[in-house]
Amino acid sequence: MAWIGLREERAWLRGVGALLLAVAIMRLLAIQFDQVPAAYTVILNRRALLGFFVVGMLGYVAWLHARTAADGQQAHPVALATAVVTANVLMLVTLSTEIYAFWELRATGPRFGSNAELIRQMMLSATWGTYATALTAAGFRQGYAPIRYLAIAVFGVTVVKVFTVDFSQLDSIYRILSSIALGLLLMGASYLYQRHGASTARAES
């Protein structure tokens, strides 16, 4: 629908395509936040693969909008930014729910026990921080501000989570290690801003 709507420049077709994608996203979120089944294989399961599929569809929609603008046709920057940001948010949600499911099944086992929740929270923070750093690098590489803004938002959520959730469960030594790891990620993002920020701002203006 999105492809036909862009090719024919029909707004109502693009609207129908967006509505279908919205329904798919709502259905995906309902599945991902459902109870974790006992027989569960991380990544190679229905809800993770469905998540990757929807992310891929959003990426394809974003590519269609970018190609349309590059070909000199009418640009739709809001639709492009919405597709890009939504795809990355859903990817982060998919990774997070997989981490949650992995440790949910091990929380009652003898090997990890009560440490499962602690490890889960640390893995979530590490994943979010790493993803935000990757978004920052991609935003500068592509010269695309919405990706960088999303990276800042993810960094903000990660910092709040580390100080309000993770630190309340960690011993002193692990708090120090977590602070160092988070600081390194923030320093990496800061380095990218110092190195590419001015030139990217001039190119986008």
Q: How many alpha carbons lie under 13 Å from residue 64 in its C-beta half-sphere?
A: 20
Structure tokens at 58: 């959003």
**112 plus 198 within the same structural domain:** yes
pLDDT computed for residue 173 by the predictor? 79
Structure tokens at 52: 């990757």
Residue 91 in any domain: the answer is no
**141 plus 57 within the same structural domain:** no
pLDDT computed for residue 84 by the predictor? 96
**149 plus 191 within the same structural domain:** yes
**173 plus 114 within the same structural domain:** yes
Residue 96 in any domain: the answer is no
What single-letter amino acid sits at 129? Answer: G
**47 plus 137 within the same structural domain:** no
Residue 41 in any domain: the answer is yes
Residue 179 in any domain: the answer is yes
Across the chain, which has 205 residues, the per-10-residue mean pLDDT values are 54 77 92 83 89 94 82 75 96 95 80 79 93 94 92 95 86 80 88 74 53
Question: 58, 77, 96 — which closes off a domain?
Answer: 77
pLDDT digits (tens, 9 = 90+) for 78-115: 989 999 999 999 999 999 999 999 888 877 766 776 77
**73 plus 112 within the same structural domain:** no
CA distances from 52 to 2, 28, 67 (A): 19, 10, 22
Residue 178 in any domain: the answer is yes
122 within 8 A of 175, measured Cβ to Cβ: no
Domain housing 121:
106-205
**110 plus 69 within the same structural domain:** no
Residue 100 in any domain: the answer is no
- Closest to 162 measured CA to CA, from 183, 178, 174, 186: 178
Question: 77, 98, 133 — which closes off a domain?
Answer: 77
Q: Provide the domain count of the chain.
A: 2
Note the helical H segments in 33-161.
Answer: 46-70, 77-104, 115-142, 145-161
What do you get for the CA distance between the two ends of the chain, in Å?
33
Q: Which residues have C-beta within 8 Å of that of residue 54, sequence separation ≥ 6?
A: 21, 24, 25, 28, 90
pLDDT computed for residue 129 by the predictor? 94
**29 plus 112 within the same structural domain:** no
pLDDT computed for residue 133 by the predictor? 93
**72 plus 138 within the same structural domain:** no
